[in-house]
Structure 1
Amino acid sequence: CNSPPLKIGLICAVRSSCQEQGKSFNQILNQVLSIILPILLNLVILSMGCTTDIRKLWGHIRRPWAIIVGFLCQFGIMPFTAFILSKAFNVLPVQALVIIIMGCCPGGSFSNIVAYWLDGDMDLSISMTACSTSLAMGMMPLCLLIYTSGWTSGTSIQIPYKRLAIMLPLLLIPVGAGIFIKYRWPMLAKKVIKVGSMVGLPLIIIATVMSCIVYKNSWSMSTSMWIIGIILPLLGYSLGFLMARILRQPWKRCRTIALETGVQNASLCGTITQLSFSREERMLVFAFPIIYSLSQIFFSLVAVGGYQVYKRCCQRSAIKTSTPEDEEMHAVDNGGFRVDENGSVDDKVTRM
């Protein structure tokens, strides 16, 4: 063991063993990400479908003003904001392309989960996610053609149309099953909602952390890309909410439209990046979708935590001010939700 060749051989063997273990660990994580997590995510979407009222959903489709507002935010505000940030930070062409691709992606299912915890309009959230996913097949190439012409031709970016076509039924089938469960077995639907709402947020966080581990070698990016990845979803939330209020949407819908604007399908952006760029180019930008995911999760958790604390404070206030002689529900204007004498909250009273 004291001979240098033998020492070198042992070191190489240990390194080789560690590399093989690392590869096998990454393979296991990849299998989990590609097989198990989509199944669990569909179960969460099923639970969100159990919160959907088919009459209200049909009402949004018949009178799609709120959906149109969301569409303008999704494919108007986000691509333009991504373009402005790319120009402002003077990033490399390949980096600008990935930023704009992210801004052009449709909404993700994560927005439905957060909308539930923020007492958003679940029927609007699900209909907006479905509409943005279906319309993305036409709007993504159009937006990319408009905003990327200064860096490259729009035809050089490969959009995975098959994946977009599959995403829509993967959303609508569990939502439809959830609507049927709510109609046929209301008590079972309540249990499914309880489980799904508790599992949804941790599931998204676990998926993002696992992605960070799998692609840990792709984290070397410029400071500009980190800053843009952090502030882009925050700008999406803020500008979406502001536009909804300017167009006089109720508070409940404003929260929903803000979420649908800021939450983008980061995994779709990662797929387009893999298809459209060389290995050297991917090394410069591959972690950007993950940074965006972490950022939108962080700001969503802050919003959910703040809203839930505010909601509980209003409940306690309502309980303290209520009297035994009260027989009717007391409507207290607290940013768009109603608090009854038992302290329960009903987000049906909105302030225009």
Structure 2
Amino acid sequence: MRTLFTFCCLFLTTGADRAWATGNLTVDSSNDTNQTADSSSRYIRIGDGSSQEFEFPEYTNGVIVISSQYRSAAASRKGRQSWKQTVTVRSLDPEVLSILNVTDSGHAGPAKSYIISIRSGIPGRAQLQIQLLDLDQDSVPVLIEESTDYSIRVAPGNDDPATRLIQSGGLSHFSENPVLFALLPLIFINKCAFGCKVEVEVLRGLLRSPVPLLLGVLGQFLVMPLYAYCVSRLVLLPKPLSLGLVITCSAPGGGGGYLYSLLLGGDVTLAISMTLVSTVVAAAAMPLSSALYGRLLGVHAALHVPFVKILGTLLFIAIPISLGMLIKLRLPALTRVLLALIRPFSLVLIVGGIFMAYQMGASILANVRPQIVAVGVTVPLLGLVVGAILAKLAGLAPPQRKTVSIEVGVQNSLLALAVMQLSFRRTEADFASQAPFIVALSSTSEMLLIVLGYFAQRRLCRSAVPRSDA
């Protein structure tokens, strides 16, 4: 668990400035933005009123102290002070700062003070809306003063590698996962086996009529990002999660697409071609989609698309598959061995992918928001449905329908994770990475259930044939 720090700000008392603080850290006045307080703030003060912005580290609990020198007119006429007043405080950016509670400090003196418990969130700046209310009336509370002069700036915490690893639970180092390295030889052999499944005639047919390829691009880079934006607004996801979901749904087809196409009776050659084409298109489509929806979401971040990773993905698909095609032409005996291994290897890779995803994201599962879990589960399912509808409208054959459906429904979530980690500061990146992680986990789990259901259905149909003949 992270250590919880308690902070407080300075507040003004008559005759002298007094500092009030608990915990092992206090507000550093050197980090404050020194500005002259607005003259309209007659009664409300934080500290001595000369600083309007205070800094807190991210994801910590703390307090600020607000002082009020207001006295009701009725009480003044009676020659006494009245403490029948209160303040309300609201954060104008709850993702950056949340207000936990407001309590009367019980401080005796000419100035009334209130302790505001806060919880800082992601780095950023949150403006405070402070209202001073007079309770010395017989009717409803009367608003005496409202101030939006003060703000809290939440700064990133320690960004050294050890802290990042502890805070993210290894999520930011997903590419260094030992399970991934253990699976790499198996993945390479499996891709070579897929190369043995490639049909040259099908490739020529796609060159003459690239309708399935165009349908994949339409579904992956137009329909899916639009769905991500709409559903994120519908369930009121925080801005980083919304952008993470949009980028995930703007990612190209994943390498598992042709694996599922093989297991579910799709067109393997089409699946490989769609994955390669969508990966190339992603180099231009992901920045455009991110810029468009980032503006709509109000997130003005400079997103870094990992072109080197995209090129690496292309090479890691093209080289072993080309090698497999060469083996098919020159080494028929080895071809038969690879084709015999392709299905069991594929199932092992699916299970290994699920295990790796759980292992990498175990630390954020406890803190993941229910909204992103619910939305993440729907993303692969919607992609499957969208792809199937587009393929059916285009009049494609059943194997091609399956493939288009799978390619639209299965995104390269690791590429989206890389975009998150390269584009944001560490805590924001790990928070936004919940979206691609949940989508990846949902996609792999749902596709595994579909594959198992498909196998069970085929086995039942085969066992039912002899009984019906008898």
Same fold (TM over 0.5): yes
Q: What is the 5 A alignment of 1:271-290? A: 271-290=418-437
Q: Does the 8 Å contact 2:239/2:299 carry over to 1?
A: no
1:203/1:145 Cα in 2 relative to 1: closer, same or farther (>3 Å)?
Answer: same
SS in 2 for 1:148: helix
Looking at structure 1, the residues matched to 190 and 245 of structure 2 have their Cα atoms a distance apart, in angstroms, of 29
Aligned to 1:133: 279
| Residue aligned with 2:396, SS | coil
For 2:210 and 2:342, the matched residues in 1 are separated by 28
Do the aligned partners of residues 158 and 187 (structure 1) sit closer, same or farther apart at CA in structure 2, a change above 3 Å counting? same
1:116 aligns with 262
CA distance in 2 between counterparts of 1:283 and 1:105 reads 18
1:16-73 deviation per Cα after TM superposition (whole angstroms, max 9, x unaligned): xxx9xx98x9799945245333332122111111111122122212321111112211
Amino acid in the other structure paired with 1:255: K
Letter in 2 for 1:254: R
Instruction: Note if contact 1:115-1:256 (Cα within 8 Å) is conserved in structure 2.
Output: yes
Deviation at 1:315, TM superposition (A): 3.5
Counterparts of 2:290 and 2:315, CA distance in 1: 25
- The aligned residue for residue 12 of structure 1 is none
Question: What is the aligned counterpart of 2:307 among 138, 147, 161?
Answer: 161
Would the alpha carbon gap of residues 227 and 153 (structure 1) be closer, same or farther in structure 2, given more than 3 Å must change? Answer: closer
1:175-216 residue CA offsets vs partner (Å, 9 max, x unmatched): 111111122223321221221321123223223323422442
Equivalent positions of 1:60-71 (< 5 A) are: 60-71=206-217
Equivalents in 2 of 1:186, 1:237: separation in Å? Answer: 35
* Residue 319 of structure 1: how far off its partner (Å): 5.2
**What residue number does 1:51 align with?**
197
Q: Secondary structure in 2 aligned to 1:238?
A: helix
* 2:322 is the counterpart of 1:171: no
Q: CA RMSD in A?
A: 2.6
Which aligned pairs between 1:238-317 and structure 2 lie closer than 5 A?
238-316=385-463
Report if aligned partners of 1:29, 1:210 keep a CA contact under 8 Å in 2.
no
Highest CA radius of gyration, 1 or 2?
2
CA distance in 2: counterparts of 1:145 and 1:28, whole angstroms:
25
Unaligned runs of 5+ in 2: 1-161
Q: Determine if contact 2:221/2:250 at 8 Å carries over to the other structure.
A: yes
- Output the CA distance in 2 between the equivalents of 1:152 and 1:271: 22
Alignment of 1:138-153 (within 5 A): 138-152=284-298
Aligned to 2:146: none
For 2:336 and 2:294, the matched residues in 1 are separated by 46
- Select 2:364's aligned residue among 215, 218, 239: 218
CA shift for structure 1 position 317 = 5.0
Which structure has the highest strand share of the two? 2
Aligned to 2:233: 87
Residues 217 and 278, structure 2, Cα contact 8 Å, conserved in 1: yes
* 1:208 correspondence with 2:344: no
Choose 62-71 or 307-316, whichever is displaced more: 307-316
Which residue of the other structure, out of 338, 344, 353, is the alignment partner of 1:192? 338
* More helix by percentage: 1
Distance 1:166 1:107 in 2: 15
Equivalent pairs, count: 302
**Secondary structure class of the residue paired with 1:67:** helix
Check conservation: 1:230, 1:292, Cα contact below 8 A: yes
Question: Which residue is 1:182 aligned to?
Answer: 328
1:319–1:55 CA distance, 2 compared to 1 (3 A): farther
2:94 — aligned with what?
A: none
1:77 paired to 2:223 = yes
Residue 121 of structure 1 contacts residue 252 of structure 1 at CA under 8 Å; is this kept in 2? yes
* Deviations 1:296-324 (CA, angstroms, capped at 9, x unpaired): 1122122212222333344445556779x
Cα distance in 1, alignment partners of residues 356 and 177 from structure 2: 11
Tell whether the 8 Å contact from 1:47 to 1:197 is kept in structure 2 after alignment: no
Moved more, 244-253 or 314-323: 314-323
Q: CA deviation at 1:221?
A: 1.8
**Offset at residue 233 of structure 1 (A):** 0.8
8 Å contact 2:174–2:360 — kept in the other structure? no
